[in-house]
Amino acid sequence: MVTLATRSVTDEASDSTSGTFSASSSSPTSTSTDPPKNFGIVVFQAFELLDVFGPLEALGMLAKLYQLNLHIIAESLDLVSTQPKSASMNALNSSFFPQIQPTHTWATAPDDIDVLIIPGGLGTRSPNLTDLIEYVKTTYPKLQYLISICTGASIAAKAGVLDGRRATTNKASWASTIASSSKVEWVTHARWVVDGNVWTSSGISAGIDATLAFIENIYGSDNATHIANMMEYERHTNSTWDPFADLYGLE
């Protein structure tokens, strides 16, 4: 079970933009002038571990500077495993699959979520994601921001959130992910992309860079730098940095 302690401070969130967002087609926007307070993250069987806990590590540190709330949302309140459903995806019969405890279901999730995070993973290939896709579709209009990590972009795309937008995703899973929608302007060379109030990141570890860029944009560069330093994480601050697009032969 994941529990993040929170406390408030008197610092005001600052609006900070920089060349960091060079892969964007528009400046990050929000439907509210208040900085986000309530974060939700959806989980499903065979989610990618770092897609969830990379961003949550950075946001958990932000929660020591700002009063934040976290909601972990899934189909049920049962533990959700990273284990693939198909035995063919675990050919060596490994038993190495961490689990996470949801706090809400699609039906009971709070209506006041400000930021919704959609991770990727093998589970995004499941044909049984109708309820999740519908949840994203109906929740998006209420949000300040939506962030997809890795192949989580396929969920956002199927929900129609990415229609007419620029977006990116995991380069190793490029073909299968972009097949989720022809209405998206898929960007090959990007660590992350911002289009309006929608943020999409490349694969797995890119979610950390995207989250830190999000923190910088909303809560200030000093806070983003402080959090990265506390994590002992060397950020990629250029959103167009992407050697993996070339590695996988994407143009």
Looking at residue 71, what is its pLDDT? 99
Give pLDDT tens digits for 202-248: 999 999 999 999 999 999 999 999 999 999 999 999 999 999 999 99
Q: What is the mean pLDDT of the chain?
A: 90
Tell me, yes or no, whether 8 lies in a domain.
Answer: no
| CA distance linking residue 14 with residue 35, whole number of Å | 9
Give me the residues paired with residue 192 across strands. 201
Tell me, yes or no, whether 14 lies in a domain.
Answer: no
| CA distance linking residue 68 with residue 243, whole number of Å | 34
Q: Which residues contact 206 (CB under 8 A, 6 or more apart)?
A: 149, 150, 191, 192
Tell me, yes or no, whether 182 lies in a domain.
Answer: yes
The share of the chain scoring above pLDDT 70, in percent, equals: 87
- Please give the angle made by the CA atoms of 34, 40 and 43, to the nearest 5 degrees: 160
pLDDT band of residue 249 (cuts 50, 70, 90) is: very high
Tell me, yes or no, whether 41 lies in a domain.
Answer: yes
Q: What percent helix, strand, coil does the chain show, rounded to 5?
A: 30, 15, 55
Tell me, yes or no, whether 65 lies in a domain.
Answer: yes
Q: The domain containing residue 209 runs over which residues? A: 19-84+96-247
The number of distinct structural domains making up the chain is 1
Q: What is the CATH number of the domain that holds 225?
A: 3.40.50.880
Tell me, yes or no, whether 5 lies in a domain.
Answer: no
Tell me, yes or no, whether 90 lies in a domain.
Answer: no
pLDDT band of residue 200 (cuts 50, 70, 90) is: very high
Q: Which among 173, 109, 170 is positioned nearest to 143, based on CA atoms?
A: 109
Give pLDDT tens digits for 122-150: 999 999 999 999 999 999 999 999 999 99
| CA distance linking residue 244 with residue 222, whole number of Å | 29
Q: Which among 40, 101, 45 is positioned nearest to 69, based on CA atoms?
A: 40
pTM, two decimals, is: 0.88
Tell me, yes or no, whether 66 lies in a domain.
Answer: yes
What's the residue count for the chain? Answer: 251
